[in-house]
Structure 1
Amino acid sequence: MTPLRLLPWTTPEGKPCYLSTDNDESMLSLLADDVEEAQLHSGEQVLAGARAVLADTKAGERAVRFALTRAAESLGDVLRIATSRGARIQMTDAEASTPSHTP
């Protein structure tokens, strides 16, 4: 049984989206990989920006709130990616430990 892959985006209502496929090279799988990569890269940039704002003793409330808002969004993306990848690793490990029955 193929596990569902948690995708790196949600529905317009904020609900999770899942993909059922046994092909990691499918068009939608590759799109999800690309989106995850972009989200991780964006998270690195947001982290650098947030650190710069926090290091600036003259940064105002608006700058700090903006940095925190973006950091929270990025953290949500990263946690979704970690959950998705963790589930896929667990399934791969389970498949590897399941004995195959050959005649």
Structure 2
Amino acid sequence: MRLRLLPWTTPEGKPCYLSTDSDHSRLSLVADDVEAAQLHSGEQVLAGARAVLADAKAGELAVRFALTRAVESLGDILRIAVSRGARIHANQR
């Protein structure tokens, strides 16, 4: 039995883990879907942030909004990377 870092946190911001032997359990598949949605959202946030940064007339609020969304997406992407890295390492044993 191994622990999988899930792509969401508790309301307090603490990590959530799933204990399972199957990558095809219902909750594992939900986590896979959430990861895919977070990656897609990250791509959209990146495109939006690039557009804001390329706009010399973008105001402080637009830049702060873009940066806030980018930081949120980066946190999601890093959590996904850690989770996937741990699963790859576990599968190599």
Counterpart position of 1:69: 68
The amino acid of 2:77's aligned partner reads V
State the aligned residue count.
93
* Separation in 2, partners of 1:12, 1:46: 23
1:45-70 Cα shifts (integer Å, max 9, x gaps): 00000000000000000000000000
TM (norm. structure 2) is 0.99
Deviation at 1:23?
Answer: 1.0
The amino acid of 2:7's aligned partner reads P
Name stretches of at least 5 consecutive residues in structure 1 with no aligned partner.
Answer: 95-103
Runs of 4+, deviation exceeding 4 Å? none
State the secondary structure of the residue aligned to 1:39.
helix
Name stretches of at least 5 consecutive residues in structure 2 with no aligned partner.
Answer: none
